[in-house]
């Protein structure tokens, strides 16, 4: 499995970037998935950081919408590493299960003042 990133910001032709295996590898994701994220409650910070080896990104735009698929749905995107830092530290990240879901929910009339504080099914 390769990690493919699509940049669709205002372009009729999305740019595709495939992460190098040294940065993000499916083997690292498989190993991580056997133990985490549920074991994070029981590990120290050093083990936490070490567990993310091989689950990095080269870069992301400052504001990013993530539509994860398959095994990537298990990984909180804010803990992926970019240049040794957590992606969620310097980037505003949002996750949606699909673009169709996002569009349907954004176009729906919601009673109230328009401020959404939490989404509960």
Structure tokens at 4: 């493919």
Residue 75 lies in a domain: yes
Phi, psi for residue 17 in degrees, rounded to 5: -125, 130
SS3 content of the chain, % helix, strand, coil (to 5): 35, 20, 45
| Predicted structure pTM score | 0.72
Query: For residue 5, is pLDDT > 80?
Result: no
Residue 1 lies in a domain: no
Residue 8 lies in a domain: no
At residue 18 the predicted structure's pLDDT band, cuts being 50, 70 and 90, is confident
Residue 108 lies in a domain: no
What tens digit of pLDDT does each residue of 50-87 get?
A: 999 999 999 888 888 888 888 888 899 999 999 989 99
> What residues pair up with 64 in beta bridges, in sequence order?
93
> What residues pair up with 95 in beta bridges, in sequence order?
66
- At 4 the pLDDT is 67
Domain that holds residue 99: 20-103
Tell me how far apart the alpha carbons of residues 77 and 75 are, in angstroms, rounded to a whole number.
6
> What residues pair up with 17 in beta bridges, in sequence order?
5
Question: Is the backbone of residue 89 left (phi > 0), alpha (psi -120 to 50) or beta?
Answer: alpha
- Domain count within the chain: 1
Query: For residue 2, is pLDDT > 70?
Result: no
Residue 115 lies in a domain: no
Residue 116 lies in a domain: no
CA atoms within 13 A on the CB side of 83: 5
Residue 12 lies in a domain: no
Residue 11 lies in a domain: no
């Amino acid at each position: 499995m390769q990690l493919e990133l699509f940049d669709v910001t205002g372009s009729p032709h999305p740019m595709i970037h495939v992460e190098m295996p040294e940065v993000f590898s499916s083997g690292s994701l498989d190993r991580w998935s056997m133990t985490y994220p549920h074991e994070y409650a029981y590990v120290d910070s050093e083990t936490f950081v070490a567990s993310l080896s091989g689950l990095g990104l080269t870069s992301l735009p400052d504001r990013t919408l993530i539509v994860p698929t398959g095994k990537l749905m298990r990984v909180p995107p804010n803990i992926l590493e970019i240049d040794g830092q957590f992606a969620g530290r310097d980037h505003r990240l949002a996750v949606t299960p699909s673009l169709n879901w996002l569009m349907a929910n954004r176009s729906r009339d919601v009673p109230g003042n328009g401020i959404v504080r939490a989404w509960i099914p």
